[in-house]
Amino acid sequence: MRICLLFILSIIFLMCCPVARAQDQTVVNGTRVENVTFPGTQCSYKWTNDKPEIGLPATGTGNLPAFTATNNTNSPIVATITATPMVSGMAYITNNYINTVSVIDLATNQIVTTFGVGKVPVGAYVNPSNNQIYIANSYGGSVSVVNTLTNTVKTTIAVGSYPFSVYVTPDGSRAYVPNYNDGNISVINTSTNTVVGKYAAGINPLFVTSSADGSVLYVMNDDYEKNGPGSITVLNANTGAKITNITVDRLPWYIITSPDGKLVYVSNTGSGSISVISTNSNTVIATIPVGYGPRNLALSPDGALLYVRSATVNQLKIINTISYATVATIDLTGIGSAGLDVSPDGKRVVLTNPLSNTVTIIDAELNKIIADVSVPGDEPFGAGNFILGGNNCAPATFKITVNPSPGVSAVGSLSALSTIYGSASATTSITVSGTWLTSALTITAPDGFEISNDGVNYNKVLTINANAGTINSTPVYLRLTSATPVGSYTGNLIMSGNNLADVKIPILASEVKPATLTVQADDKDKIYGTANPTLTATYRGFVNNEGITQLTTLANITTPADISSPVGQYPITASNASAANYAFKYIDGTLTIVPNAGVVEIPNTFTPNGDGVNDTWMIKNINTFTTSTVSVFNRYGIQVFFSKGYPSPWNGHYNNQELPSGVYYYIIKTDPKEKPFTGHLTIIR
């Protein structure tokens, strides 16, 4: 099989600069100036500074570094920083047999990191719309989704058997993965990174491309076994329906769409030619002879140049796509034809060399090799769009203003405060002012307190003047919080900021007193001669959305009455409850003992036939047991009747339907602490 080498696709990104946003900053002498953002993503810049006396060098590249600002004058110093994009990039090289990706910084041509992916990665394709690159793991039957900002695998998507490559549509919404052994295409939604469908393709689909709008797919089938004309299967991208087949020359290897979407180029290794297909007519409109077995293809961003790498001759040809003439030939130092791609800015061409384990980097403006980078592992292989370019890289100009050293002051003092747990206290206040601040002024309250600058919205930390500079007289209100536990509190308000020594404002000793929690014993009733019911209590007065779980000890609920106590009323008392932050108030309840109305008499039969005689199951004296329960079951153990208190005698119905004649079984509980009555009951109709 022609693809038995299982090389690894090179995954190449343009350099991502870890810089902050480009924006004007105003700081104070001695403060730290943070990294500054330049426009776009995946961009690299060189910059100049017209006022190096602020502590920043006059020139630099990459990040504008953080530095300590300097201004020993009495006036602001305003420095102008000018940033200009420069050629850069990151090359993500898949290492086939060690299942990793090495990242090469194209500005230095050095490997900066290596991370793991799936088993035997082969194809790769960038999705610049979401900072991800999709890597086909041929032996793993999966696709690794790599976050290009963190160089980590975000997720792994299971696809089909032997996925050799990946293609992402121009709008970035879908990825298509040809499953070589299955003869189909996995369709991936790139927003969710899930497989949303599979499309039938030709025999051994190898590579996929699409029209400019992504509505039509062109699938290159690996027809090496028939050693005849190759075929391109054309599919409706929305439905997977086959539109047509396009015949090309022998042994097609790679397929690519022009930037304007009007043309598709197919390399034919067996015939030494390039087939040019019109996407308007889906027909071959030209054949470009190249004289040797072409393998990988890449286009310049404007589509004017076609780069062709041979499978047999160690050269890179550059072809004019208008005249089809060869405009340059570059002899390559690396061995083996694998990955080939052009950076989105057209300034770099990158090739992987599987037989020499190197990556070749070419200056596209000079058509000259500028580096051969050794990579770890065995046989780096690349096929697809594996260079991620910068987005919206543009010159930027901004200013850094360094003011003289800052100062802050407070007028007034903070009084002692007092409150009850669950309620915020009254307030005390000071007035704060500041000059030449390099950051917002942060005021932090000690534990138990909260602060505000409007007397309405309170927090533990207050930020004043988020844009730095001058703070005019501003009130700061302090109070004990409603959630502060019982106890005494003191401490300091602490005012802090960049390059500003902490200013501490003392708070006089303040107090939080316990909240009152009322425990009322619940009234209870019982029949003379029976055990006491369970004694309970009701708690009132919890605050801060707390409840009974806040109690460290539940109230002890007691009564002097027992099973032999005569009819009458007896006190129920509560005591000895405990909980942090609460003081307890107890209210007694009453236990009422009523006479025993008689012995429960349970008939074992009744005749619910509607004749007015014995139509219901009349249980004598059951009504005196107000908390009794009555359950009836059929012979299968299914409960057909249940009643609490038995207010209405049972009529022999279940779910509004008459039960058939027969024997049923009952359980009657008159008191939870007493043995229940059990037996059988016969319904006669």
Domain end call among 361, 388, 415: 388
What type of residue sits at position 463? T
- 185: which 2 tokens? 């295409």
| Same structural domain, 580 and 610 | no
Full-model pTM: 0.54
pLDDT tens digit string along 299-320? 999 999 999 998 788 899 999 9
Number of residues assigned to the chain: 685
> Do 275 and 298 meet the contact criterion of CB atoms below 8 Å apart?
no
pLDDT tens digit string along 328-352? 999 998 888 788 998 888 888 999 8
| Same structural domain, 220 and 328 | yes
Band of residue 553 on the pLDDT scale cut at 50, 70, 90: very high
Domain end call among 546, 572, 594: 594
100-108 contact pairs (CB < 8 A, 24+): 100/376, 100/377, 101/11, 101/135, 101/146, 102/375, 102/376, 103/13, 103/151, 104/12, 104/359, 104/373, 104/375, 105/15, 106/12, 106/14, 106/15, 106/343, 106/348, 106/350, 106/361, 107/15, 107/44
Distance CA 248, CA 246 (A): 6
Q: What residue has token string 């690299």?
A: 44
| Same structural domain, 550 and 588 | yes
| Same structural domain, 285 and 268 | yes
Q: Is residue 379, in this structure, part of any structural domain at all?
A: yes
What type of residue sits at position 198? K
Q: What residue has token string 């309620």?
A: 423
pLDDT tens digit string along 52-102? 999 999 988 777 889 999 998 878 999 999 988 765 677 788 888 899 888
Q: Is residue 398, in this structure, part of any structural domain at all?
A: no
Q: Is residue 557, in this structure, part of any structural domain at all?
A: yes
Distance CA 663, CA 271 (A): 93
- Of the listed ranges 83-92, 181-190, 447-456, 650-659, the least confidently predicted one is 83-92
Q: Is residue 79, in this structure, part of any structural domain at all?
A: no
Q: Is residue 231, in this structure, part of any structural domain at all?
A: yes
Contacts of 245 (CB under 8 A, 6+ apart): 202, 231, 232, 233, 234
Band of residue 111 on the pLDDT scale cut at 50, 70, 90: confident
The number of domains in the chain is 4
Domain end call among 354, 388, 422: 388
pLDDT tens digit string along 190-246? 999 999 999 999 889 999 999 999 999 999 998 766 667 889 999 999 999 999 999
Helix (H, G, I), strand (E, B) or coil at 225: helix
| Same structural domain, 115 and 194 | yes
pLDDT tens digit string along 379-438? 888 778 887 776 667 788 999 999 888 788 899 999 999 999 999 999 999 999 988 787
| Same structural domain, 670 and 543 | no
Question: Is residue 254 over pLDDT 90?
Answer: yes
Q: Is residue 555, in this structure, part of any structural domain at all?
A: yes
Q: Which structural domain range is residue 501 located in?
A: 407-512
Q: CATH number of the domain at 485, please.
A: 2.60.40.10
Q: CATH number of the domain at 103, please.
A: 2.130.10.10
**Three-state secondary structure of 565-625:** CCCEEEEEEEECCECCCEEEEEECEEEEEECCCCCCECCCEECCCCCCCCCCECCECHHHC
| Same structural domain, 110 and 154 | yes
Of 186, 135, 189, which Cα lies nearest the Cα of 165?
Answer: 135
What type of residue sits at position 249? D
Of 210, 208, 254, which Cα lies nearest the Cα of 230?
Answer: 254
| Same structural domain, 493 and 535 | no
- 499: which 2 tokens? 């390059």
Q: CATH number of the domain at 675, please.
A: 2.60.40
| Same structural domain, 499 and 519 | no
Q: What residue has token string 């599919």?
A: 235
User: How many other CB atoms are there within 10 angstroms of residue 619's CB atom?
Assistant: 21
Average pLDDT value over all residues in the chain: 89
pLDDT recorded at residue 110: 83
DSSP 8-state class, residue 445: P
DSSP code string of 236-288: ETTT--EEEEEEEEESEEEEEE-TTSSEEEEEETTTTEEEEEETTTTEEEEEE
| Same structural domain, 184 and 311 | yes
| Same structural domain, 272 and 159 | yes
Distance CA 347, CA 334 (A): 20
| Same structural domain, 294 and 413 | no
> Do 679 and 665 meet the contact criterion of CB atoms below 8 Å apart?
yes
